[in-house]
Chains A and B, each alone.
Chain A
Amino acid sequence: MFVYADNAATSKVSPAVLDAMLPFLKDTYGNPSSLHTMGQKAAEHLLAARESMARHLNCEPKELYFTSGGSESDNQAIISAAKVGARRNKKHIITTAIEHHAVLHTLAQLEREGYTVTYLPVSSTGLVTAEQVKEAITEETCLVTIMYANNEIGTILPVKEIGAVCKEKGVYFHTDAVQAAGHIHIDVKDQNIDMLSLSAHKFHGPKGVGALYVRSGIPITVLINGGGQEKGKRSGTENMPGIMGMAKAFDDACNNIDANAAKVGALRDKLIAGLSKIPHCALNSDPKLRLPGNVNFCFEGIEGESLLLLLDSKGICASSGSACASGSLDPSHVLLAIGRPHEIAHGSLRLSLCEYNTEEEMDYILQEVPKVVEYLRNMSPMWKDLISGKKNFTL
């Protein structure tokens, strides 16, 4: 059996999305900036795509900029707010310890340029509170950037409340909604969001395309200069097949958001219940206050990369926050931030589901994961030390 359970890494392009993209590769391949009929036809579709996505986010079409994806959107949002801040002599930014590297590395660059960044600690389930944000805001704060939902452990953060605090204090609020968009309801007005990043390939759109919402009136810093596309804020000929695919994928995801969440959430809960039976394991983050498709466990006594490779050999695609799986010395900064010790964080497994997954696939995962965990534990000297009582269990 083949089971794709790595949808938080990327998701498959749905058949309907592919159908929406192909005409812009085959027939209507004109440049939306061209004056001829084919170009203008592309421009009309571009406008329709922007209107459709804006409607789902509850923003104006002119507040939505198409980009190359989540990373570019995060970079542009943060740098834009930082530049505005610098002009007002406000060079302090607030974020959390569990952001995606697209945010963290952009902030690290700003720190090298003289900005100060506060990394709010998170709870054991990956939460920060609006109160924490409120207390961290100073006269110098120019931006609060906090993710909508975490990519590793699926925690959904209290964005609306954080946004309200920022609004009250007159500080820009950006949220990296890459994992949330298309999966949970987003309303930028109701949720007090000034800037929002999203990426198409996380909701069955194509890779290499995303969007940035920026509330009207917030000055945007241009990262890519050129022909002045996207109202001069993001040059480069529009990725028409990509944008058409993203708009279709977002429309489908938002129109079916509750049904998908119910279906995927049930699969998630089944996996969580089943995997919890493995001795000396722990679910990362809250069982309910998490993305519908996110399952993340730590298994004591084993290492995540070998777990992934063995699952791969059984046809199961998953992910891990172990150092080896990420190609670095340290395990996931997110697992460390929620208080998992290094040796526990090395043994993590993320399974991320979507509406194309089935009950049978969950049964197969629940059949294979315990076997693989047991197999690895049986060859692990660390496990031997734990069961012999030489060392104490953490989980």
Chain B
Amino acid sequence: MALYTDTVMDHFLNPRNVGSMEDADGVGEVGNAKCGDIMKMYVKIKDNVIEDVRFETFGCGSAIASSSMATELIKGKTIEEALAVTNKDVVNALGGLPAIKLHCSVLAEEALKTAIKDYYDKNGIEYDHTQFPDCDACEHGCHMV
């Protein structure tokens, strides 16, 4: 379908790092079923580096592709580098998304940040709360950008 770039279709049809992770150090889940998008990310962190990452997504083609690309962008990066990844980076790496699908990239950014926040919380690590999405907002309905 010409709706999506070849890169989006590649990541949709051959998603990278898909699945769950038993011994994850951090797990983040964003979105809600009513809107038709839920993303869940699992991270394995060692020596401040994202050693491994997995995702599970309920959503459209661009949601699955955005999740897959986001995992690729943070795998092997330091936490600081991973936190610097934005939805725009995901969109650019995918070669663009249709305007109406941009929220999928936002969800991907929020999912990975929420997973890192979970790692911080679980390990009692101090952090700047403003760096992370307000996850209560995710429950309040669909948001579009």
Binding site for B on A (CB under 8 A): 301-306, 309-310, 312-313, 322-325, 327, 329, 331, 341-343, 346, 379-384
Contacts and interface: CB of A to CB of B under 8 A. Distances in A.
Contact of A380 (B13, B15, B57): B57
B75 interface: no
A302 B60 contact: no
B78 interface: no
B40 interface: yes
Contacts of A313: 13
A331 to B, nearest CB: 7
B18 interface: yes
A325 B3 CA distance: 11
Contacts of B95: none
Interface in B6-57: 9, 12-13, 15, 18-20, 29, 33-40, 55-57
Nearest to B29: A381
A309 B61 contact: yes
Interface residues of B, number: 31
Given A309-B61, A313-B13, A327-B100, A303 B1 contact: no
A327 B3 CA distance: 11
Nearest to A323: B36
A302 to B, nearest CB: 7
Interface of B: 1, 9, 12-13, 15, 18-20, 29, 33-40, 55-64, 100-101, 142, 144
Contacts, number: 76
A322 B56 contact: no
A68 to B, nearest CB: 26
5 contacts: A304-B60, A322-B60, A324-B61, A329-B144, A342-B33
Contacts of A343: 33-34, 36
Given A301-B58, A313-B13, A379 B36 contact: no
A303 B34 contact: no
A381 B1 CA distance: 26
A379 B15 contact: yes
A323 B101 CA distance: 11
A379 B35 contact: no
A229 to B, nearest CB: 37
Contacts of B64: 306, 379
B66 to A, nearest CB: 12
A329 B57 contact: no
A380 B56 contact: yes
Given A309-B1, A327-B100, A329-B142, A381 B57 contact: yes
A341 B35 CA distance: 11
In this complex, the member of B9, B56, B142 whose beta carbon has the largest number of chain A beta carbons within 10 angstroms is B56
A7 B5 CA distance: 27
Contacts of A309: 1, 9, 12-13, 61
A323 B34 CA distance: 10
Contacts of A306: 12, 59-61, 63-64
A324 B60 contact: yes
A381 B35 contact: no
A-B interface, 4 closest residue pairs, ranked by CB to CB distance from nearest = A324-B60, A343-B33, A305-B60, A346-B36
